[in-house]
Structure formats: structure tokens, C-alpha cells
């Protein structure tokens, strides 16, 4: 057996475990994103091409130990990223269907945001979804748009922001979004190779340019946040946007990530090779 590998983010060291979990890695889908619920269960998203791939679950649920518990979501056309709501609902960004689909934890469709298969109403190939502490919903939209949409907790549309470009509040592929504990909104403006930070209402605060094509942003300890990019590497920034530490835990960069706040374990979703990697604090 190979010697274990280790990485560090600031003072914290991690043991790399890969591939992790009882996942169908030889099927048609590629692992696109990962998230945890309040009990530590791990939800793994598989992306398929509905025109050429046989129907398969879009979400596989694992126990904290990696045992497969459930699989559902065959109706998802092109799952890009997703987030587990604090109440246990699962919000899946069905990119090519131009909809954010809302599921129960057991995979029952509960509703959605956007008009399915109707681009521009309002989404046009959206990327990611995140929740504010007050329950508001933010959607990064995405591949064919350059906008952050904002919704009330009940799904009522609120004023959003963004347009194509390279200036403040402009985007070239807003690929991921996260809302910090204080309500600030962090956006991975991927193909402008920067993070943009905004107030809850969309007023531009600052750019963080020390990143190369950032893929995913996720909240970290003490008000900070993690960012995966295409160097490839994983970076930890503090709440003021200062770099705390960096590491290279995966081969070609993680498309998605999640930190389990209960255990401190960091999950990284890889597409090439197709696997889930986890970083266990030691």
C-alpha cells in the first residue's frame, strides 16, 4: 500500500484519502459536486449527457463512513452544482434545463426556481446556488449569462446584478457563489480569474485576483472561505480576503468542494480522474 499523502492549509494538516466512498465510478456520469447535510451525510452529484447516456441517478448519498445509502435524481438533465439547505432540502442546478430544482432529502421533487427548458426565464445555463444566513437564495448564472440572481426565502425574485465584462460587478462566467456569515456574497468570476465580493444587495466591495480560473468557493472557519482553482490548488482566505494557506490535494483541480462543519473534513469532487477525494484533519 502506498504511503499516505498530506497537505496543509495554514497551521492545519490533512491526510489525503482517494478515491473515497462507495460510488459508481465506472458508470456514464462524472462527479461534478459534493455537499453535506447537518448529520454529516455526503451527497455526491453525477453529471450525465441525457442524449447519449443511459438514465442514472444524479445524486448518490453516502454515510460519513462512505457507505452508499441512497441514489436518486434520474430526472436531472445536466446537474452542474448543488447545495444542501440547512433544513435538508437539496437545491440542484440543472444547467442545460435552465432550472434550479428543489428536492427533499429523499429525492422527491418539491419545486424549482426558473422556468424549465425556457432559457432566459430568468436563467441561461446557470452554475451554482447558495443561501444567506437570513434564508435568501443566490444563483450564479453562469455559462450563457453574466448575472447573480437573488430570491427571498420563499422563492420570490429580488433585484439581482451583473452584466458581461471585466469591470466591478461584471462577469465572465460567474461559476460559483457563496454567502459568508456576515452576509457578504463571494462570486467565482472564473474566466476573469478573480473573486468578486459584494454586499447582500450587490454593491461591489473588492476583487481578489490571486487565483487562476476559480471553480468553487465555500465558507471556512472563523468567517473565512476556501477556493478551488485550475492551477490546480485549494486556497484558504480569511474574512478580509487575506491568504491563509494553499495546497494541491487533487490531480487536475476540483470542480466542487464542501467542508463538513461537524468534522472539519474537506471533500473535493474531481472529474478527471472521476473520483471523490477527502482531506481529513490530523
Q: Which one is predicted more confidently, 142 or 113?
A: 113
**Which CATH number fits the domain 6-281, given the four candidates 3.30.565.10, 2.70.170.10, 2.40.30.10, 2.120.10.30?**
2.120.10.30
* Global confidence as pTM: 0.97
The beta-strand segments (E) located in 182-265 are 185-189, 194-198, 204-208, 216-219, 225-229, 233-237, 243-247, 256-259
The grid cell for 150 is 437573488
Domain coordinates of the chain in residue numbers?
A: 6-281
The three-class DSSP label of residue 49 is coil
Radius of gyration of the chain (CA): 17
The grid cell for 214 is 476559480
The DSSP secondary structure of 81-141, one letter per residue, reads EEEE-TTS-EEEEEGGGTEEEEE-TTS-EEEEES-TT-TTSS-SSEEEEEE-TTS-EEEEE
Q: How does pLDDT run across 32-76, given as a tens digit for each residue? A: 999 999 999 999 999 999 999 988 999 999 999 999 999 999 999
Q: What is the pLDDT of residue 17?
A: 97
What confidence tier does 1 reach under pLDDT thresholds 50, 70, 90? low
Q: How does pLDDT run across 176-232, given as a tens digit for each residue? A: 999 999 999 999 999 999 999 999 999 999 999 999 999 999 999 999 999 999 999
Query: Could you give the percent of the chain with pLDDT greater than 90?
Result: 95
Amino acid at each position: 500500500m502506498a504511503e499516505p499523502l498530506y497537505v496543509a492549509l495554514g497551521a492545519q494538516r490533512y491526510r489525503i484519502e482517494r478515491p473515497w466512498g462507495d460510488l459508481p465510478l465506472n458508470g456514464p456520469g462524472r462527479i461534478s459536486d459534493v455537499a453535506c447535510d447537518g448529520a454529516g451525510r455526503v451527497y455526491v452529484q453525477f453529471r450525465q449527457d441525457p442524449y447519449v447516456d443511459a438514465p442514472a441517478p444524479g445524486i448518490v448519498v453516502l454515510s460519513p463512513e462512505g457507505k452508499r445509502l441512497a441514489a436518486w435524481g434520474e430526472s436531472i438533465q445536466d446537474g452542474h452544482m448543488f447545495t444542501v439547505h440547512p433544513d435538508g432540502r437539496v437545491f440542484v442546478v440543472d444547467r442545460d434545463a435552465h432550472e434550479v430544482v428543489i428536492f427533499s432529502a429523499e429525492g422527491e421533487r418539491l419545486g424549482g426556481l426558473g422556468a424549465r427548458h425556457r432559457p432566459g426565464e430568468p436563467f441561461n445555463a446557470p452554475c451554482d446556488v447558495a443561501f444567506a444566513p437570513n434564508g435568501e437564495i443566490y444563483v450564479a448564472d453562469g455559462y450563457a449569462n453574466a448575472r447573480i440572481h437573488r430570491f427571498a426565502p420563499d422563492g420570490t425574485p429580488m433585484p439581482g446584478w451583473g452584466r458581461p465584462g471585466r469591470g466591478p460587478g461584471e462577469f465572465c462566467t460567474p461559476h460559483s457563489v457563496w454567502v459568508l456569515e456576515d452576509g457578504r456574497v463571494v462570486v467565482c468570476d472564473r474566466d476573469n480569474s478573480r473573486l468578486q465580493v459584494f454586499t447582500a444587495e450587490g454593491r461591489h466591495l473588492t476583487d481578489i485576483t490571486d487565483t487562476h480560473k476559480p471553480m468553487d468557493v465555500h465558507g471556512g472557519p472563523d468567517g473565512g472561505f476556501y477556493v478551488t482553482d485550475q492551477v490546480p490548488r485549494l486556497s484558504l482566505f480569511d474574512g478580509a480576503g487575506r491568504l491563509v494557506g494553499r495546497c494541491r490535494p487533487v490531480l487536475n483541480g476540483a470542480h466542487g468542494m464542501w467542508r463538513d462543519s461537524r468534522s472539519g473534513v474537506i471533500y473535493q469532487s474531481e472529474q478527471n480522474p472521476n473520483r471523490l477525494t477527502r482531506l481529513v484533519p490530523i
